[in-house]
Structure 1
Amino acid sequence: MSQHIPARRRIAALAGASALALGLAACSTPSAAPAEEDGGGDATGVTDTTVTIGTHTPLTGPAAAGYSSISAAASAYFDYLNDNGGVHGRSIEFIVKDDGYNPANTQTVVRELVQQDGVFAIVNGLGTATHGSVLDFLNQNGVPDLFVASGSTAWNQPEKYPWTFGYNADYIVEGAALAQYAADEHPDATVCVLGQDDDFGDEFIEGVELAIGADGIADIQRYSVSTQDVTAQIGAMQAAGCEINMLATINGFTALAVGAAAQLGWFPMWFSSSSGADYPTLVGYLGEEMGPKLLQGFTGTNYAPMADDDWVALFRTVNDEYNGGAAFDGNTIYGMSVAYLFAEALAAAGEDPTRESLVAAVASGDLKGNGILPLSFGEDDHAAYLGVGITKVDQGVQDYIDASYAVEGGAVTAVEPQPVALTGKGLPAS
């Protein structure tokens, strides 16, 4: 029976640990419970008092400043959950390992989590290219791969990857929603796109084209996370006469784009995927003096609670008490929302959970989460959200406006939000 270690301490202890070589990891033996012998399923990572899960995330590297706070927020929620009895009497042990937003590192640390640490599940592994590098490994080993922190459609392939479920609204949905909103509100504006040079950018562009057609995009520019400069791309977009710049960017590159345009004396409208639209994070990059000015009217997408919401109030309290009062932003809400959803899934998996019963709980379609639109999980659908709300920054406050869109069957339609009310102090029934 393993000793419970608070999730925050697990992060501190493991973030700086050096990775083992892949060959060594492949030979290691899981330290948790083996599969049940009675055919009831695989209970690896589960003891009488704990459930051990893990994640890979960029605590260092080009995406760290925008995303490293997510795992800390999730850990804080798990500590809050554990102090309130856990799930079916078990505490959650959350192991967080740094992959630096580098797929080679991701492969190393995920093998460690599965083969050395014996985790029950991987939860909210972050990044499109990074998580894509371990997708086959996790599914071949029957490890629940839940709520991936990326909007790639790769996670929604139930027949090929039955153990994997996404969390973010996918990039096609986000691109289509933003483009439809632009068409509805600014029908004569010249629309352009700046996208990351991977599936993130490809699928976001596909979504924009779904709403306004390929000929509705005046210019497309791409960037690589290995080059911290988008001046050339922004200059080309200015020369193309772009009035609305749609961004498939992570937070750091959103800030680079907005800052580069300002240096050119150019102030177009900015429409961003949720992956690069967190206002407090962007102000952190751009500075308290110029950030609020440059981001006035900044438009984005989201599906999580925002601003004046009971969930947000609870998460602020949890952040103060269990996360050392760290800066509170959209990443905090995101991390705690994912942690709550995992706790809800674990509660639904039964008093003696197995990997199989955990995946069945997610695929049942019964989970509610805490988003503004219903979860779409089912046996044949491993995507979380098929729609998003449109957000806007006004006088330093980022919140939803009266516009939400869903994308189904190749069509973009306006929908009414259906936010999930806070109940039971944000603790799942178990």
Structure 2
Amino acid sequence: MSQQHTIRRIVAAVGAGAVVVALAGCSTPAAPAAEEPPPGVTDDTVTIGTHTPLTGPAAAGYSSISAAASAYFAYLNDKGGVHGRSIEYIVKDDGYNPANTLTVVRELVQEDDVFAILNGLGTPTHTAVLDFLNENKVPDLFVASGSTSWNQPEEYPYTFGFNADYVVEGAALAAHAKAEHPGKAVCLLGQDDDFGDEMIEGAELALGADGLAHIERYSTSNQDVTAQIGALKAAGCEINILATINGFTALALGTAAQLGWFPQWFSSSSGADYPTLVGYLGEEVGPQLLQGFTGTNYLPALGGDDEWVTLFRAINDEYGEGAAFDGNTIYGMSVAHLFAEALYAAGEDPTRESLLDAVTSGDLAGNGILPLSFSADSHAAYTGVGITVVDQGVQDYTGPTYAVEDGAVVEVEPAPVPLEGEGVPGA
């Protein structure tokens, strides 16, 4: 605060005191104070931010998510923004390191005065800021992780997930393996945190408590899974469910190939993006190793001809600064569109409270293959997933859609959300 500003405040206070003394015998009520706008909101802009790995072990593939969201926001701003406000999106690199995440998120909230945090990426990383964001009453929207931690409305009222949770994904992959390949030994390789824990929980919903023939875990701090892959091979695993990020999915397939072992691979959507995996494995061997690769998804599929995919390709071409178009591009633009939809529903003068009310209203549509599940009692986005398979380089839906209902895995009918208004809420 400047010295001149401080002097003005003192003079104003003295003047106000003099008026009070002079009018001591009067009882005129004071005018109500004007309500200040929430952090990050001006007449022309809404500022939001995110933490994401632009460097480090999770950067490949995932770094393109925030770039895709930025491209969508540029497109939206050129269309007039939301209620006349442009969205300013601040992206900060945390290197997929929880200590860095806490530092950059504190900067976003305390220095950049963001209105909300959007799509903070990673289970271990976002866990590090969960309490901080809720204690400071910052909307923590659409976390880029399938951990069930984000769906705790009573403990974390400001936090909402985006991904289908890992229990659902694990259950869907295991149910599909059981239905399509009865009698085969199903195993699991998983990250050593909630990601792996909850994928195991889901798989056991479908296969029973002893249904997984073997389980191996890994840490993202050690980029060598030779021991784990060797153990899975020795256990006679025929189908391996992967609770892995993209880099470790490729590492698992590549290590197995070096050992001359070619089982079937079933992956969470978090590590199943075909172009990203080919980028890791190389154009020469990647397409061969990924033929028949099975995954989950809940958004428009990269290999499909969905109207959303067509729109997002066009946005990427114009605003993506030469970025490749892949499943992570679709993911980033889908998240950005959902935020725009929530902001529009929050009203012409949005507050943090009206933004949360918009999300829990049950009126948001999103662009998934199933309806969103947000409500006052649920902070989960998608509670079901479809099965995708890679065939000759095309990754598209080919199998059934699964959900978890009342602790059981069930097949459900997909209900894709149609594109409206050129992907601009309120248009």
**Paired position in structure 1 for 2:367:** 370
**Paired position in structure 1 for 2:23:** none
Find out whether 1:338 has 2:335 as its counterpart.
Answer: yes
**1:39-87 CA deviation, whole Å, 9 max, x = no partner?**
9786211000000000000000110013000000000000000000000
SS at match of 1:215: coil
Find out whether 1:92 has 2:122 as its counterpart.
Answer: no
Find out whether 1:199 has 2:194 as its counterpart.
Answer: yes
Match of 1:411 among 408, 413, 418: 408
Q: Distance in 2 between matches of 1:248 and 1:202?
A: 9
**Paired position in structure 1 for 2:101:** 106
Q: Is the 8 A contact 1:53 1:120 kept in 2?
A: yes
Q: Distance in 2 between matches of 1:218 and 1:101?
A: 31
Q: Is the 8 A contact 1:41 1:355 kept in 2?
A: no
Find out whether 1:260 has 2:255 as its counterpart.
Answer: yes
- What does 1:53-92 align with in structure 2 at a 5 Å threshold? 53-92=48-87
**Paired position in structure 2 for 1:427:** 424
Q: Is the 8 A contact 1:42 1:356 kept in 2?
A: no
Q: Distance in 1 between matches of 2:364 and 2:252?
A: 38
Match of 2:278 among 260, 283, 293: 283
Q: Which amino acid aligns with 2:203?
A: V
CA RMSD between the two structures: 1.1
Inter-CA distance 177–289: structure 2 relative to 1 (3 Å threshold):
same
Find out whether 1:357 has 2:351 as its counterpart.
Answer: no
Alpha-carbon shift at residue 215 of structure 1 (Å): 1.2
Q: Distance in 2 between matches of 1:100 and 1:422?
A: 34
Q: Distance in 1 between matches of 2:360 and 2:37?
A: 17
**Paired position in structure 2 for 1:242:** 237
**Paired position in structure 2 for 1:45:** 40
**1:274-322 CA deviation, whole Å, 9 max, x = no partner?**
0000000000000011000000000000001012111001000100100
**Paired position in structure 1 for 2:19:** none
Unmatched segments (≥5 aa) in structure 2: 1-31
**1:191-234 CA deviation, whole Å, 9 max, x = no partner?**
00000000100011000011101211111000000011111100
**Paired position in structure 2 for 1:185:** 180
SS at match of 1:292: helix
Q: Distance in 2 between matches of 1:278 and 1:253?
A: 12
Identity %: 79
Q: Distance in 2 between matches of 1:403 and 1:258?
A: 25
Q: Distance in 2 between matches of 1:424 and 1:184?
A: 40
SS at match of 2:389: strand
Q: Which amino acid aligns with 2:238?
A: E
SS at match of 1:253: helix
Inter-CA distance 39–196: structure 2 relative to 1 (3 Å threshold):
farther
In the alignment of these two chains, the number of paired residues is 394
Match of 1:294 among 286, 289, 293: 289
**1:152-207 CA deviation, whole Å, 9 max, x = no partner?**
00000000000000000000000000001111111111000000000100011000
Q: Distance in 1 between matches of 2:35 and 2:381?
A: 27
Q: Which amino acid aligns with 2:71?
A: A
Q: Distance in 2 between matches of 1:363 and 1:147?
A: 12
SS at match of 1:331: helix
Q: Distance in 2 between matches of 1:281 and 1:213?
A: 33
TM-score (norm 2): 0.91
TM-score (norm 1): 0.90
**Paired position in structure 1 for 2:388:** 391
Q: Distance in 2 between matches of 1:226 and 1:236?
A: 20
SS at match of 1:79: helix
Q: Which amino acid aligns with 2:371?
A: P
SS at match of 1:216: coil
Q: Distance in 2 between matches of 1:378 and 1:231?
A: 44
Unmatched segments (≥5 aa) in structure 1: 1-36
Q: Is the 8 A contact 1:148 1:165 kept in 2?
A: yes
**Paired position in structure 1 for 2:397:** 400
Q: Which amino acid aligns with 1:122?
A: I
Alpha-carbon shift at residue 38 of structure 1 (Å): 6.2
Q: Is the 8 A contact 1:243 1:268 kept in 2?
A: yes
- What does 1:94-173 align with in structure 2 at a 5 Å threshold? 94-173=89-168
Q: Distance in 2 between matches of 1:269 and 1:39?
A: 63
Q: Which amino acid aligns with 2:245?
A: I
The runs of 4+ residues in structure 1 deviating greater than 4 Å are 37-42
Q: Distance in 1 between matches of 2:283 and 2:307?
A: 27
Q: Which amino acid aligns with 2:346?
A: A
